[in-house]
């Protein structure tokens, strides 16, 4: 005889004790299983009912994992598919359908929210948004549908945001080094090379002022002179300084002023 011996609440789930052939087995199940199979203490089960219950318990255990994964943060259909594959799930459609019914799986809504958040809060560029969404398995048409809502004016505004933020960290360096560092930093945020270069050209005076290349050059020359005198070098001091300073990104015309 197969019989439900006891039900005990454990967190959000239940521990169900079932006796079968003088053995008692415990199963951790969700409230959904309790309701669907009307599991009450003392209830007797036929062999085929018990087999169906075990199958449902196994599927429910997987579903609870998938549900937790989906609730942790918004997921795309591909991300859920990959997660199910890691769990070695065969009936993927069953779990995908359940999540869709709960409105936890909607690639269109995911794309819309992701693009909006990326533009307005993360302030990243169209290229990075596009790459991120492709990685998450969204189709090209869906990505472009919402990237169209990224106006040119906002692209420039977000470039300026990263320009101001990065510029605060760059002081007293060669002009070309400052410009290169800014270009690289902003490109890494997903903006296009041509857009950034055009923007930097409009900020040329600010770049020269912030770089303060002449002040940086004076300090660098003093340090290099100390290094030169510590080493037994065959090259002349001026040749040594020119090579080192140009390698660091200083302009030759500026170097000649101080040598």
The domain limits of the chain are 2-101, 107-147, 152-211, 213-257
Instruction: Give me the sheet containing 23-29, strands edge to edge.
Output: 23-29, 13-20, 2-10, 44-45
The structure tokens 């809502």 sit at 149
pLDDT for the residue numbered 91: 86
Q: Which residue numbers in the chain have pLDDT < 50?
A: none
Residue 69's region, left for phi above 0, alpha for psi from -120 to 50, else beta, is alpha
* Spatial distance between the Cα atoms of 7 and 11, rounded to a whole number of angstroms: 13
CA 155 to CA 139: how far, in whole Å? 23
Helix (H, G, I), strand (E, B) or coil at 88: coil
Counted residue by residue, the chain has a size of 259
Task: Please provide the CATH number assigned to the domain covering 107-147.
Answer: 1.10.10
Q: What is the pLDDT of residue 148?
A: 93
Beta-carbon contacts of 105 under 8 Å, excluding residues fewer than 6 positions away, are 70, 75, 77, 80, 96, 99
How far is residue 241 from each of residues 46, 171, 176, 231, 256, measured CA to CA in Å? Answer: 92, 21, 18, 13, 10
d(CA 91, CA 144): 32
Helix (H, G, I), strand (E, B) or coil at 258: coil
Q: Look up tokens 């454990």; give the residue.
A: 10
CA distance 1 to 19: 8
**Dihedral-angle region of residue 44 (phi above 0 means left; psi in -120 to 50 means alpha; beta otherwise):** beta
Q: Do domains 2-101 and 107-147 have the same CATH topology?
A: yes
CA 122 to chain centre: 11
Q: What is the pLDDT of residue 217?
A: 67
Can you give the pLDDT at residue 23?
A: 85
Q: Which residue has the tokens 């209830």?
A: 43
CATH tag for 2-101 (out of 1.10.10.10, 3.40.50.150, 2.60.40.10, 3.90.1150.10): 1.10.10.10
């Amino acid at each position: 005889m197969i019989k439900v011996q006891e039900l005990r609440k454990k967190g959000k789930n239940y521990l169900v004790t079932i006796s079968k052939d003088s053995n008692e087995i415990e199963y951790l199940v969700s409230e959904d299983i309790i309701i669907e199979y009307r599991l009450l203490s003392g209830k007797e089960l036929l062999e085929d009912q018990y087999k169906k219950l075990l199958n449902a318990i196994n599927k429910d255990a997987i579903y609870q994992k998938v549900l937790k994964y989906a609730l942790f943060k918004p997921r795309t259909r591909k991300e859920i598919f990959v997660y199910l594959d890691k769990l070695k799930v065969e009936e993927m459609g069953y779990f995908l359908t359940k999540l869709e019914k709960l409105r936890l799986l909607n690639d269109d809504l995911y794309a819309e929210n992701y693009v909006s958040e990326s533009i307005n809060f993360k302030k990243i560029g169209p290229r990075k948004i596009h790459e991120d969404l492709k990685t998450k398995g969204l189709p090209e048409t869906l990505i472009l549908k919402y990237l169209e809502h990224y106006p040119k004016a906002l692209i420039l505004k977000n470039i300026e945001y990263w320009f101001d933020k990065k510029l605060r960290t760059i002081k007293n360096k060669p002009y070309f080094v400052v410009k290169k560092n800014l270009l690289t930093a902003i490109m890494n945020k997903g903006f296009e090379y041509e857009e950034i270069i055009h923007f930097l050209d409009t900020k040329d005076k600010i770049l020269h002022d912030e770089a303060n290349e002449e002040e940086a050059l004076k300090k660098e020359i003093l340090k290099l002179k100390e290094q030169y005198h510590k080493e037994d070098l065959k090259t002349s001091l001026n040749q040594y300084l020119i090579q080192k300073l140009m390698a660091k990104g200083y302009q030759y015309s500026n170097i000649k002023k101080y040598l």
